[in-house]
Each structure stands twice: as structure tokens, then as C-alpha cells.
């Protein structure tokens, strides 16, 4: 490795081999004696400590911790209250109207009201933890849209001919259509993937089927 040398007398710059480091010899131009310096040692600096702010004018290097922000407690309390109210309504409908005799307007209203806690609780459970959760008015609007579609599927079910839904094997052909629409509603409104969106709609189906059985109605 060559060492760069500058003569202190004539300011001539030249290079010599590092084997002459520390030795004294004449300048090749002015012949004045000079000492060849030692080669500069390579210094390895330790990395700066991670910083969370840019107060020194540098970009922050400390990783930003991920904080999972769940759905608000108020939304979950609302969902729980609506769920208990729906259960009480199913029991009351059986007592007041008799098993299986609840009016259509009550069934439609209950289907929509039940959907709200199912959508909220289901979203809190299966949402993508890598995405910022919906909150406040945005969550309420998406919940109402998804709930309206879920309830509308029960409305569509009411128009099916009774002979087409009496046997369980018939649902092997009808069920995928309903679950496809319900899963698509959850996928679009709540930004779930296809698997979790289908599971989200399945929660609503499970709850409503149970409430129908409590009210004395055919589960499907």
C-alpha cells in the first residue's frame, strides 16, 4: 500500500511504499530530508444509539413499536346490549305470538338488529391486525351497511319456495349462494380477506339460526 507524502520544504507530493513508513530520507525534488508518515489506521465507528426523535437533525433510527388498537369498548358494549336485547325479543315473541307465529315485520327488524352486534363483535375478532381498525362514524356506517345486507339475505330466504329448503341436502346448493353474498359484503365493507369474511357471516348465521329456534321458527 502506498503512502502519500508531502515535502514540508517544497510542497511536492509523491507516494512511497508503506515499507518506508517512519523512515527519514531526501525529498526527490529538493533533496531536503523528510520523514515518511505512518499509514492512517482504519477506524471502525460503532453505530449511533437508536433515537426516537430527530432533535439532532438526523432521521430517527429507533423502530416504532406496533400498538394494536382494538375496537372501542363502547362499540363492544353496544354490541353486547343489542345481543341480549335480541335474545329477550326472541323469548318474548314465542310467548306473545306462539311458536313460529311471529309477524314478518318483527322478523325483519330483528334480523337487522341482531346483525349489528354480530358485525361489531365479529370484526373485533377476525379483523386484520396489520391494518388500522375502523372507528367511530366510519365503523358505524360500515357496520350498518353490512348488517343491512346480512338481514336482506334472510329477507331473500323468505321468498324461497318452502319445498326447496325443507331438506338439509338442498342447502348444499342454496347455501353457497347465500354465503358467497354474505362473505362478499364483509369483504368489501370491512376489508377482510375471503376466509375471515366468510367466517364473519357464519357468526351471524349461527346467532340468527339459534334465535329462530328459540322463537319457535324453523332454523333454516
Residues in the chain: 220
Nearest in space to 197 (alpha carbons), one of 208, 186, 181: 186
101 within 8 A of 128, measured Cβ to Cβ: no
pLDDT number for residue 54: 53
pLDDT tens by residue, 99-122:
767 777 878 888 888 888 888 888
- φ/ψ of residue 31, rounded to 5: 65, 10
* CA 182 – CA 202 distance, rounded (Å): 9
Which residues of 63-166 form beta strands (DSSP E)?
none
Nearest in space to 144 (alpha carbons), one of 180, 124, 118, 125: 118
Residues of the chain falling short of pLDDT 50: 41-42
pLDDT number for residue 58: 55
pLDDT number for residue 146: 92
* CA 79 – CA 86 distance, rounded (Å): 11
Residue 148: CB atoms within 10 A of its CB come to: 15
* CA 1 – CA 20 distance, rounded (Å): 11
Amino acid at each position: 500500500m502506498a503512502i502519500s507524502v508531502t515535502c514540508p520544504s517544497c510542497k511536492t507530493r509523491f507516494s512511497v511504499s508503506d515499507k518506508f513508513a517512519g523512515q527519514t530520507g531526501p525529498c526527490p525534488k529538493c533533496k531536503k530530508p523528510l520523514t515518511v508518515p505512518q499509514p492512517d489506521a482504519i477506524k471502525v465507528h460503532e453505530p449511533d444509539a437508536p433515537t426516537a426523535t430527530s432533535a439532532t437533525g438526523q432521521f430517527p433510527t429507533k423502530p416504532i413499536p406496533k400498538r394494536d388498537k382494538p375496537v372501542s369498548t363502547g362499540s363492544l358494549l353496544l354490541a353486547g346490549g343489542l345481543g341480549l336485547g335480541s335474545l329477550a325479543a326472541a323469548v318474548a315473541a314465542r310467548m306473545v305470538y306462539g311458536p313460529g307465529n311471529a309477524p314478518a315485520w318483527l322478523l325483519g327488524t330483528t334480523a337487522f338488529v341482531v346483525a349489528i352486534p354480530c358485525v361489531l363483535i365479529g370484526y373485533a375478532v377476525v379483523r386484520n391486525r396489520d391494518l388500522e381498525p375502523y372507528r367511530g362514524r366510519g365503523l358505524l356506517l360500515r357496520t350498518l351497511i353490512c348488517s343491512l345486507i346480512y338481514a336482506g339475505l334472510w329477507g331473500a330466504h323468505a321468498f324461497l319456495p318452502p319445498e326447496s329448503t325443507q331438506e338439509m341436502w338442498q342447502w348444499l346448493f342454496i347455501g353457497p349462494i347465500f354465503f358467497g353474498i354474505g362473505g362478499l359484503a364483509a369483504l368489501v365493507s370491512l376489508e377482510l380477506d375471503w376466509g375471515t369474511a366468510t367466517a364473519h357471516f357464519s357468526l351471524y348465521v349461527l346467532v340468527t339460526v339459534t334465535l329462530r329456534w328459540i322463537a319457535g321458527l324453523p332454523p333454516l
